[in-house]
Chains A and B, each alone.
Chain A
Amino acid sequence: MIDLSTDYLGLRLKNPLVPSASPLSRDLDTALRLEDAGAAALVMYSLFEEELLAEDAMLDRFLLHAELGHAEADSFLPSHGKFQNGLERYSSHLHQLKRRLEIPVVASLNGVSPTGWVELGRALELAGADALELNVYHVAADMQATGEAVDARYIELLTELRRVVSLPIVMKLSPFFSSLPHVVRQIEQAGAQGVALFNRFYQPDIDLDELCMTDRLHLSTAEEALLRIRWIAILHGRTRLTLAATGGVHSESEALKLLLAGADVVHLASCLLREGPDKLTEILAGMQNWMEEREYESVAQMRGSMSQQNLSDPSAAARASYRRVLDSYSPRPGVWS
């Protein structure tokens, strides 16, 4: 019997497949089906800072202060004694998931500003989360902001949260850092237990009919796993942090490659959204088959076996592969001639 277990943020998981933050965790039944399908842990959908801010604005403007100075009406909607804010709803859902699921549940915070995290973090710890995923969805668009300042923003947030919660924290990062390994080291020093690589910025599109920006969701593709494979390979063995691979896992192939590169866990979302919980079972079985065929005994055995540790100079190797790939590309016949 192959040992699929892995360590994730100090938690022992039965296998490395963990559904990442997605709408799938909004519904208790869906979460139970994921558990039945073999998920080793569950990252909840993200609690978005913007959502809380928008809710506050709605509350303030349309419920608490809707008066317009006319004698016949000083409000337009009934004020609710039992109005639950976003955090309360999230916490109570987390509580419910914890009560019904046996696998660990990770709460996910997604935000941009340096305020407000302390309250959120504390509340989620109280609600029973096993760990916190901190997704700093920050697009560094300010031309005055230096790379250091961008890095510092992440570290400050983490430090602030670390101060008040004792839960394991995993930071979900974007790939856009001048020196990702350095950022990871700072994150480790600031007290996190893991990093998840990488979050996917939902990139705005242009609507040619309306001439406006749109923000339609594009699910990931397997191609996207390549970026993760590289950076996990580069980081494996050089940090004590849990390495979680997220983005682009659509079959056992990507999952296995990521484990070989050094991932401790592999997150799944797009493939589950598209194909349902059975996909998780299928990937798990596929991984097991592949490992059996090649007589691997455990995930631990294969994890990182193809990481930078087996290469002399990871950055040189990376560069070499870049040159090789570009040079090897030849256009389709007929394109140029």
Chain B
Amino acid sequence: MPRTLTIDGNEAVARMAYLGNEVIAIYPITPASSMGEWADEWASQGKVNLWGAVPRIIEMQSEGGAAGALHGALTSGALATSFTASQGLLLMIPNLYKIAGELTPFVLHVAARALATHALSIFGDQSDVMACRATGCALLAANSPQEAQDFAVIAQAATLAGRIPVIHFFDGFRTSHEVAKIFAVEEDTVRAMLDPGAIAAHRARALSPEHPVLRGTSQNPDVFFQSRERANPFYDAFPRIVQDAMERFGELTGRRYRLFDYAGAADAERVIVLMGSGAETAQETVDHLNARGEKVGVLKVRLYRPFAADALLAALPATVQAVAVLDRCKEPGADGEPLYKDVVTALAQAAADGARAMPKVVGGRYGLASKEFTPGMVKAVFDELSDTAPRRQFSVGIHDDLTHLSLPWDASFRTDASRQLQHAVFWGLGADGTVSANKNSIKILGEATDLQAQGYFVYDSKKSGAVTVSHLRFGPAPIRSAYLIESGMAGFVACHQPMFVDRYELLEHAAPDGVFLLNTAAPPEQAWATLPTSLRTQIVEKRLQLWAIDAYAIAAEAGMGRRINTIMQTCFFAIAGILPKDEAIVAIKHAVDKTYGRKSKRLVELNYRAIDMTLAALHRVAVPAGPVPADASVPSPAAPVPDFVRDLTLPMYHGHGDALPVSRLPADGTYPLGTAQYEKRNIALEIPVWEPDLCTQCGKCVFVCPHTAIRSRLFSADAAQDAPPTFKHVPAKSKDFPAGTHISYQVAPEDCTGCGDCVEACPIHDKSNVSRRAVNMAPVAPLRDDERDNFAFFLRLPEFDRSLIKHGTIPGSMLLDPLFEFSGACAGCGETPYIRLATQLFGDRMLVANATGCSSIYGGNLPSTPYTVNGAGRGPAWSNSLFEDNAEFGLGMRLAADHLMDYAKQLTKELATDVGGDLAEALVGADQREEAGIVDQRRRVEALLDRLSASTHPRAAELAAVAEWLVRRSVWIIGGDGWAYDIGYGGLDHVLALSYDVNILVLDTEVYSNTGGQTSKATPIGAVAKFSAGGKATAKKDLAKLASDYGHVYVATAAYGAKDVQTLRVFHEAESYPGPSLIVAYSPCIAHGYDMLYNQRQQDLAVKSGHWPLFRFDPRLAEAGANPFKLDSAAPSQPVKAFMESETRFAMLARSHPEAAQQFLERAQQEAERRFNAYRDMAQRPADEPKSGA
């Protein structure tokens, strides 16, 4: 028997790609990132490829860059590969045409993913691959982790033999992230598959000065066309070459594939044609239906390009009367998707030739962006084919109540194969280790037994308090179920978090007579009483065994803090009955050894202890006999919410998004603001409590809050007369406000994440007890109800007159209403305070272009939107275009705003008589740099509209339509360092080089945070990041300095945790500067490897050590004859070492590469000194002569 591996699709592919390649150029993109990460990790460990060499792994600045590097490596004789998906694949297309046009052997491994259209989606479908149909690359589809591994090798063998580059793809997440037990392809097999002669031929074609040739000519009408046709024989031959490689692979491994694999009845009447993971589900369903006498089949398309029609026809039984071709993509406006049309063409041509009768052929779409595709849906397609007049075009998996294309399906349909499996579902928090424990369990069962195993993990759209649901299957036969565990199927359901019992339908998956494991602090005899009625009812009705464990208590007692993964895993093995208990415990301990053994014996011992304690503390809970009494408590009426929130936001939030019909959704991806406030996620264990007696009303707590969950507001004391009894407010200390003005600092108890940053920021200590501050964390439970009422009251208080507030001070600016709240960012996020600050200062006039990345995910990931509106309904208008084009996207917003303002001014002048000369003049000449000017202009626009409504001027309506553009818009271009330093740098640089008034905010986490910590050019020297496993060898790019070299760009660095006043000043200066402004904002991130509670402390250390000097470069000063460069931080007072030692990203290098760490440390110190000295010199430089006219 061949060796088995229990790994996910990405790792399976990466293993093969690594063995057979020499240059691997990559760029991170979900869901393909981990393939490159594996390769990088293996290279850093010195693992060699087939030829005994360590492949060169290079991370580029974009997928376009990676493709260019690959093209160069390939044309110069190396074997090269890459991994990508979605937008990344699109960026590679120009090079794919080149690589294919030059007949270059190459395999690109793609975890197929949706393309951004009305919205971005990270999830799986085949839209990206379908966009490459015309590149000249072959398209080879794998349907499972096993096939993804196998096809990685077959693709490489075929491309070497046939010179057609291959895009080898498999469904993103469903295959790339599914953990499965597969038969390993060993090194010898890969070696036997790759023809040394073909490799030598590839090398012989390489560009070489020893025998030089020229490639990449520019051709004219005379020969270009013929040249394109010249390659036809290669495409004609390629299907046979792929089939030969498949056969060779079959001889070596026993796993036999064909270009089109048919499964089902030999005399099938109805057949589904598709490619990708859905084909596995289809086969499972076909087997089930044929066992019941139906005559159905599935044709799995392996090689989609070049399209071998004869092979397809040969594989399709002659008995077929109806065919449904399913595409996992959408081509709007076409009369069918690509695979459908290719199949129709093949069949029609065969029919025209008289080779076979033309069956009925219909086309359907399914599974876009990882939409579920279940056996019930497969059956629905077969049922449709049974109809005498099946729909020619349909969709399946959604409810289309608009164009009525969707097929209804039986959600209760289950296959025989599925019923023979053991299913387990686990509900956990993202940070509690549930997913990693389950991956571990699958490995244990995969390796310790003959069982087949499958794991798939459903993640949250939030980064804080995220919920994960793990779906595990085990069984003796191969598992083809490429869909989530269905309701009523799970013999084992575990809830790892006590608070979930009220929030989720935990037992929907539970099968009758199954087991329900609950982590609860309640003792076993009281656990039943803590459950809500709905859960109790299901336990009784489904006759579930209820087991309870107090995992957090055991974790604490065993010295594991709040890490419960090993404990819950032990419970699973102890009661799920998949392995004999003793054997299972031995296996878990073995797994613990593997995880920790080489790194810490102490952690091994702690885990062992926890395992043993768990077994003693796991109890079965007696379930009372008889029916569950109805819930006597009357649910409190839900607070009224807008219709959109009721109909769309909340169903999505509660996990019912799949059931939303087509008509309910916006047609163009446009969503209202301010919906995050309705989620009320209640994830904090502790919340801040304000102590008015100590508070100096400095506003720092509000300034640092990453989730806008602590706020301050001014109001007249009279307004608080009806306040709830526990609402705290005191007279405002500032003399700027009228007598009787009160202030309140109020927490949003259900939106706070409990990060504690506000407490850390509080500068006040109780004189008798230094530990007590003006804001302190306290357990949320006794506070929640009162504070909920208090916060609701706080929000109802009238907005204080902004013109009376000093926007330039921290206490003042923090009294301004934030228009960004309750985002899904990580607890303690270092980016969000900057965004919130911008919305406080300028939110009512902001247009935001947001690069793809963390800030677009917490800023715009459904179900809700954190950007919100003020009392007048104004707020930041936000959009995300792409990752790479954000500066240009924002510039376009500026161009539109400027043009439409000019146009409106022009019309205003033209209509001056109707409008009124004074008003027209004021409208056209308004000074709107400051907020007061904008407020005045808005009043004028109202007056204008009023007068226009009475005007009979033929262009009055035209002016009315653009009148709002007379109000200045503040354009903000926001993104992370991955965008600004790398993929979008060209565009950013171009926008900086122009003179348009845009404000660019770079949230610099010094790493690609959103995709999991890959190196960017902002990564500092000596930092460990993915693709810099041995520490980044070069210093970070000084983006701010580069921008300041232009001379006309306002540039500043900021770190609010070090100097909040400077940050505030920078935002004001940047926004008021009437040209391009760039703020490079230091943003602590969980990727840095420390507790985000210390976010501000680390910012301070970054500045004090010279890692992050603060400066401002204001061209206005130069025009006024002053030195534009102002250094805002003092000479370093701490060694860089103090900063680096306190963050895991640096500290871990001292553990893995101590000598390199020491060298980097010295260079980092030199770099910090060099930079500071250079800045100091610039700050001390005498001012240039003032420019004329200044």
Footprint of B on A, CB under 8 Å?
Answer: 52-53, 55-60, 62-85, 89, 116, 119, 211-212
Contact = CB atoms under 8 A, between A and B. Distances in A.
B1152 A84 contact: yes
Interface in B444-486: 459-464, 466-468
**Residue among A60, A84, A116, A212 with max Cβ neighbours from chain B (10 Å):** A60
A76 B1143 CA distance: 13
A148 B601 CA distance: 32
A326 to B, nearest CB: 36
A58 B30 contact: no
B580 interface: no
A65 B1145 contact: no
Nearest to B30: A72
Given A59-B603, A78-B41, A82-B1152, A66 B1025 contact: no
A83 B1089 contact: no
A66 B1026 CA distance: 14
Contact of B463 (A70, A75, A84, A212): A70
Given A70-B460, A73-B1013, A77-B1144, A65 B436 contact: yes
A53 B1147 CA distance: 15
Given A56-B603, A72-B1010, A76-B1086, A63 B436 contact: no
A297 B1145 CA distance: 58
Contact of B1090 (A62, A71, A78): A62
B889 to A, nearest CB: 21
B430 interface: yes
B1152 A76 contact: no
B602 A119 contact: yes
19 contacts: A55-B1151, A56-B600, A58-B1144, A59-B600, A62-B1089, A62-B1144, A64-B599, A65-B563, A69-B463, A70-B459, A71-B30, A71-B459, A73-B1011, A77-B1013, A78-B41, A78-B1029, A83-B598, A116-B602, A212-B770
Contact of A70 (B466, B1024, B1090): B466
Interface string B391-416: 00000000000000000000000000
B44 interface: yes
Contacts of B563: 60, 65
B269 interface: no
Contact of B1151 (A73, A74, A85, A119): A85
A60 B606 CA distance: 12
Given A68-B826, A83-B1148, A60 B603 contact: yes
B980 to A, nearest CB: 19
Interface size band for B = 35 or more
Contact of B1024 (A53, A56, A72, A77): A77
A211 B770 contact: yes
B356 interface: no
A71 B172 CA distance: 11
Nearest to B1154: A89
A84 B1013 CA distance: 22
A76 B1089 contact: yes
B173 interface: yes
Contact of A66 (B461, B561, B598, B1086): B1086
B430 A67 contact: yes
Interface in B1100-1150: 1144-1145, 1147-1148
A68 B431 contact: yes
Contacts of A76: 1007, 1009, 1012-1013, 1085-1087, 1089
B430 A68 contact: yes
B955 interface: no
B464 A71 contact: no
Nearest to B1027: A78
Interface in B745-798: 765, 770
A56 B602 contact: yes
B339 interface: no
Interface of B: 30-31, 33, 37, 40-41, 44-45, 122-123, 173, 428-431, 433, 435-436, 459-464, 466-468, 561, 563, 565, 595-596, 598-603, 765, 770, 826, 857, 1007, 1009-1013, 1024-1026, 1029, 1085-1087, 1089-1090, 1144-1145, 1147-1148, 1151-1152, 1154
A310 B635 CA distance: 88
A84 B1154 contact: yes
A75 B1013 contact: yes
Nearest to B1090: A62
A286 B305 CA distance: 89
Contacts of B598: 83
A17 B623 CA distance: 73
A119 B601 contact: yes
A73 B1012 contact: yes
Contacts of A55: 600, 1151
Contacts of B173: 71
User: What 3 pairs across the A-B complex have the smallest Cβ distances?
Assistant: A69-B430, A73-B1012, A69-B466
Given A70-B857, A116-B602, A119-B601, 19 more contacts: A56-B603, A58-B1147, A59-B599, A64-B595, A65-B563, A69-B467, A72-B857, A72-B1010, A74-B435, A74-B1012, A76-B1012, A76-B1087, A77-B1024, A78-B40, A80-B1029, A81-B45, A83-B1152, A85-B599, A211-B765
Nearest to B565: A65
Given A71-B30, A72-B1010, A84-B1151, A77 B1089 contact: yes
A52 B1013 contact: no
B987 to A, nearest CB: 23
A89 B1009 CA distance: 30
Among B123, B599, B857, B1152, which residue has the most Cβ atoms of chain A within 10 A?
A: B599
Contacts of B1148: 58, 62-63, 77, 80, 83
A295 to B, nearest CB: 50
A75 B1089 CA distance: 11
Given A58-B1147, A58-B1148, A78 B435 contact: no
A58 B923 CA distance: 60
Contacts of A72: 30, 33, 122, 857, 1010-1012
Contacts of B770: 211-212
Of the listed residues B428, B770, B1144, the one surrounded by the most CB atoms of chain A closer than 10 A to its CB is: B1144
A85 B604 CA distance: 13
A82 B1151 CA distance: 8
A109 to B, nearest CB: 14
Contacts of A60: 563, 603
Contacts of A83: 598-599, 1148, 1151-1152
A80 B41 CA distance: 8
Contacts of A64: 436, 595-596, 599
Most chain B beta-carbon contacts within 10 A, residue among A55, A72, A74: A72
Which of B37, B598, B1025, B1151 is most buried by chain A, counting CB atoms within 10 A of its CB? B1151
B249 to A, nearest CB: 30
Contacts of B595: 64
B435 A69 contact: yes
Nearest to B1023: A77
Contact of A77 (B44, B435, B1025): B1025
